[in-house]
Amino acid sequence: MLKTERKGKWLEIIVPPEWNDMTIDDLFRKLWEAPKKLIYHFQMENKVLLNGNKPNWNLPLVQGNKLMVLLFEDYFGEVSPTYHEIPILYEDDHLMVFNKPAFISTHPNNIELETDTLLNAALYYLQAKGEFCNIRHIHRLDRDTTGAILFAKHSFAGAILDRMLEQRKIKRTYIAIVNGTLSSKRGTIQEPIGRDRHHATKRRVSSTGQEAITHFQVLRVDKAAKHTYIKCWLDTGRTHQIRVHFSHLGHPLAGDVLYGGGSLFKRQALHAAKLEFLHPITDEKIICHAPFIDKPPIFKGINIDEI
């Protein structure tokens, strides 16, 4: 794991042996795969120092050198901070993972009209402890879906995490309850998803839609309630993907009124139970389990730590 330390607005990185003979340019372009625009920004504004001095980005690094990167500048955006008690699963200087409750949106679509989203709550929490950072979500959860959701606290971490998500290096595992009994104990649903032209917010399986791949495994069957508890993980992240795929199979999520799942619960029975990824800066393995937080409980007899 990479040895780092925050020093004010700067991140100090002690060059490890495996970086010997790499250049700063190699780090940004090849190791971190940062966007060209962001690299230019760091280089032109002297936001990288080597042993306290402005470096030559094309000279080889030496083990033990001190690389300083300006990451933690104060940021004052237009989104208003609003208090909400949101469980935090993981936090450091670079990122946060929340356990999102139901009935709260990930971010506002209109910053003036919507002030009760997870982003508003994150800003309140951070500013209350003196952090004014450019926090933003890396992926979304539907308003009524609960569970683990990842935010970056500065643009550099955000750029790396965006790339990791695109390359399918961030694994998201969900727990869902579907109506009926599935014919297979495990499988993969590979059906493209597009907009439903008859409904503004609805999606559907469509030959002209975007690629969508959902893997699933049955956890248990509740014969009395005629429900099946499943674990699923995604290769893609389309809007309503799990909900659309299981509705297409004839097994909509319990409580999912929009996709034919009935109204047994106040929301669709879907929870982002686990998030796994390598830390964008330190390369540390991060695994977050998100406890169920519904009151009254929806998911019963499932041990999150075993997912």
Domain with CATH 3.10.290.10 in the chain: 4-70
Among 92, 93, 142, 222, the active-site one is 142
**Could you report the per-residue pLDDT of 193-202, keeping only the tens digit for each?**
999 988 888 9
Q: Is 163 exposed, middle or buried (0-12, 13-18, 19+ CB in 10 A)?
A: middle
Per-residue pLDDT, 197: 87
Query: Residues 6 or more apart from 175 whose CB is under 8 A from it?
Result: 219, 229, 230, 231, 270, 271, 273, 299, 302, 304, 307
The pLDDT, as a whole number, for residue 200 is: 84
> Residues of the chain whose pLDDT is less than 70?
none
CATH of domain 172-271: 3.30.2350.10
**Per-residue model confidence (pLDDT) at position 14:** 96
Rg for the chain, CA atoms, rounded: 22
- The fold of the 4-70 domain, in CATH, is 3.10.290
Concerning whether 26 is annotated as a catalytic residue, the answer is: no
pLDDT in tens, 151-169: 999 999 999 999 999 999 9
Q: Please report the pLDDT score of residue 1 as a whole number.
A: 77
Q: Where in the chain is the domain with CATH 3.30.2350.10?
A: 172-271
* SS3 assignment, position 156: helix
Among left, alpha and beta (phi > 0; psi -120 to 50; other), residue 165 is alpha
pLDDT at 306: 86
